[in-house]
Each structure stands twice: as C-alpha cells, then as structure tokens.
Structure 1
Amino acid sequence: MSGVGAPDFFYREAQRLGYVARSAFKLLQIQKQYKLIKPGSSVLDLGCAPGAWLQVACQSLGPLDNGGSVVGIDIKKVKVPSLHCDARVQTASADVINLPSNQVRALSPKQKGFSVILSDMCPSVSGITTKDAALSVELGMRAVDLALGPAALASPVNNSDSSTDSGVLKPGGHLVIKLLESQDAQGENFRK
C-alpha cells in the first residue's frame, strides 16, 4: 500500500483478479521470466499466508489433468483460497524453524521431495530495518537448510543421497527465497 491506508495499483489489481494479496505479482513476474513451475511440478510454499503464492503456483501447474501438487506451510493456519486453487493445493500449520526435514518430505508426492521450493517467509516486523533484515536472512537460511540439507551450508559438496537429514529439494529443482532488505544493503547488488 502506498501512503497510509491508500490502496496502490497492485493491491487493487490483486483484488480485481481474485488474488488474496498483491504478493502474487512477485511470483507471477518470476514465473513469467524463469518458468520455474512446470506442469506436474511438486511445489512447497514456505510462509504461505495469506495464500497468493499458492494461487500462482497452482495456476502455473496448468489444468488439473496435468498433475502436480502445491503444499503450503505457515505458522498461521491458512485456508486454501477458493479462486485459482484446486484439489492439488493443501496447507499445513507448523513452525518451519522447528520442522524436521523428514516431516516436510512426508508432505511431498511419494515422499520424494519437491521440484520447486518457494520461501516468502517474513519475520514479525519490528520497524528496525537492520534487525528485520537479519531475521529475514535467518528465515532464508532455514529455507536453504530445508531445501538442501544442513550439510549444504557447511560444505561446498552436497551429498544428496545421504541420511534422513538431507534436503527436500529434488536434484535439478528450483529454490526461490524472498528477503527483506535493510537500508544498509540498498543499492548493493547481491545477484550471482
């Protein structure tokens, strides 16, 4: 929203198109540019409330007969939005920080993991930009940890067929993480 209480263009457009939040446009733009979610994909949405990324992910799977699945996890209980979602979308209420990877893997089709992991997790915002950005990075690192396994952060080699503590992202899969930016980091380019 721009200004105090004044809906901006994206807020109004999200309402017009039936998305539960303007954040849908972030994932729509990523999907348009990179086409990460394909028909038949298995998608995990971390921090899925209020459900806009669930809507875009399900739409990106194409018609119901294409298959695929979308699982959303959030600390809050999230109802699957009725528009743009179908039977392929389910949600679970859990604290991702404390959720073991084997429980997340159990939510995936045939317990084989996910081909796309989306993280739009956001900490409770304090208004202190450096603190909020640091908490956001912590949540982002948790998404990496879940996706690739804890060894991936400690070692440059990812042993993907190791123990039960391996990540839930399938080999060749895609990981998208949204982070809050602090004023200290603005203007710097962190892209690879």
Structure 2
Amino acid sequence: MARDKGGSRSTRGGGVTGRREAAVRVKTARGRTVSSARWLERQLNDPYVHEAKRLGYRSRAAFKLSEIDDQFRFLRPGAAVVDLGCAPGGWCQVAVQRIRPLETGGRIVGIDLTPVEPIAGVTLLHQDFMSDEAPARLKEALGGPADAVLSDMAAPATGHPQTDHLRIMGLAEAAHDFAREVLKPGGAFVAKVLRGGTERALLEQLKRDFRVVKHVKPPASRADSAEMFVVATGFRGGE
C-alpha cells in the first residue's frame, strides 16, 4: 500500500481514499468560460486526478480498469490482452503492471486513432479500430488468442442522448464481434456503455457467449457521468 504526503492512499485496485482536502474554487477570467472554469475546478478537486499524477498514470481512467479487475481478476501475469481505444494509455499501464509482459511473456496490444506515446511492454497501433484493416493488424500483433478484450472506446459526444447511446453501442457491438474472434475459452470482455445498460440484442448475445455478464460502475467513474461498463467473463468459445 502506497501513501502520499497528503495522506491519501491507493490500494492494489487504485482506489483513492484519505482525508478530505479543502476544495479549490476557480473563478472565470479573461479567456476562460464558465464551463471551462467548472471543468478546471473539478479537476483540481478530483482525488483520482491527483493520485494518477502521483503514480504516473496518463489518465484517471486507469483506476476504472484497476477497480474492475480487482473484482473480476482477468489481468493475470502472462495474459494476452487487447485494449481498443487505448489513448492516452492509462489502461495499458495498468495491464503492464498486472500482466508484467516483459517478465512473463504476456502480450498487450493497444489501438487508437489518436497517437499514443510508447509504453514498455505494449504494442501500439495508430489506427481507427473501425477501419476494415484494423482487426487483421490486431490479430497479427497479438500473435495468438487473447485472454481479454477491453474497450474504453467512445464516440465524440453530440449532446443528443439517443444519438450518443447509439454511437457508443455501435462501438461496443464491434468490440464484441472482434472479441468473439480472438478470445480463448474462459476469456473476458469489458466494454464501455452508457447509463441504461446494454441494448437487449447485444446483452442476449453476450449471455450466450459468456457464462457471467454484469454491468459495473467502478468508483473511479464520476457519479455524474452516464458511463458504465459491461463485463463478461467465462467465454464459452467452442462450447
């Protein structure tokens, strides 16, 4: 267990606890809108943001994966994992810590349309996962079946809830289709969805393909965020 000078603590799962610090208030200023001031204030008062900086994570989203894995335990040493929509790399960093690819021979492959700075032990592909060539490139980089397929992909928000829901569900469905092609029997699938859960058709297919399917909102996911994650474990494979 690590402890910073301010008294906050991080467990194996990256959960953040500790004493409450005085809230920082941000005022609007020249060139700063009310919305940008609110965003900055939220960042300055977010313990996950501070802990991510302290631990060297590229984003607070790293804690979402670590908290999910604390519950389901699919990032085992030596595992082979694909991270879809991996920028800026926080989930890959967590995978490296738990899989230890340089020591165990595990494999981690990430893909994103946005360039990602190199991470030791991770193969990074700069490409849109939705392109026709992406699945073949991922399979080649992986070099064999996967133990887990992770998707934190999200389309740019339009502000129209129904449209945003359809877009993110389309990404989740594409990730699931890919997972079915590469997962080992017993493998795991994690994908971001929005509040309201997974569409019935996808949920029914997941229940056919996996032994256990659950919706999870990890503590690191902001309470005012509509995001959730569908976690499916025990891939049936050729059953």
TM-score range (shorter-chain normalised) is 0.7 to 0.9
1:49 aligned partner, one-letter code: A
Match of 1:4 in 2: 39
Matched, 1:175 2:189: yes
Match of 1:119 in 2: 151
Query: 1:106 is matched with which residue: 118, 140, 146?
Result: 140
* In structure 2, distance between residues paired with 1:99 and 1:80: 24
Matched, 1:77 2:109: no
| TM-score of the two chains, using structure 1 as the length reference | 0.76
Q: 1:113 to 1:63 in 2, by over 3 A?
A: closer
1:124-139 aligned at under 5 Å gives the runs: 124-139=156-171
Match of 1:92 in 2: 125
| TM-score of the two chains, using structure 2 as the length reference | 0.62
- Worse overlay, 8-17 or 59-68: 59-68
SS, match of residue 116 in structure 1: strand
Larger radius of gyration: 2
1:7-26 aligned at under 5 Å gives the runs: 7=43, 8-26=46-64
SS, match of residue 125 in structure 1: coil
1:95 aligned partner, one-letter code: D
2:145 aligned partner, one-letter code: G
* In structure 2, distance between residues paired with 1:17 and 1:99: 37
CA deviation after TM superposition for structure 1 residue 77, in Å: 1.5
Q: 1:71 to 1:2 in 2, by over 3 A?
A: farther
* In structure 2, distance between residues paired with 1:99 and 1:14: 34
| Percent of aligned positions that are identical | 37
CA deviation after TM superposition for structure 1 residue 17, in Å: 1.3
Q: Is contact 2:101–2:108 with CA below 8 Å preserved after alignment? A: no
Length, aligned pairs only: 161
* In structure 1, distance between residues paired with 2:189 and 2:78: 17
CA deviation after TM superposition for structure 1 residue 113, in Å: 2.2
What is the RMSD computed on CA atoms of the aligned residues? Answer: 2.2
Q: Is contact 2:113–2:127 with CA below 8 Å preserved after alignment? A: yes
1:122 aligned partner, one-letter code: A
CA deviation after TM superposition for structure 1 residue 63, in Å: 7.0
- Worse overlay, 135-144 or 64-73: 64-73
* In structure 2, distance between residues paired with 1:3 and 1:35: 36
Q: Larger RCO: Structure 1 or Structure 2 (Cα < 8 Å, ≥ 6 residues apart)?
A: 1
Q: Is contact 1:104–1:168 with CA below 8 Å preserved after alignment? A: no
* In structure 2, distance between residues paired with 1:63 and 1:49: 19
CA deviation after TM superposition for structure 1 residue 107, in Å: 1.2
The answer for unaligned runs of 5 or more in structure 2 is 1-35, 198-202, 204-213, 216-239
- Worse overlay, 26-35 or 95-104: 95-104
The answer for unaligned runs of 5 or more in structure 1 is 149-166
SS, match of residue 43 in structure 1: strand
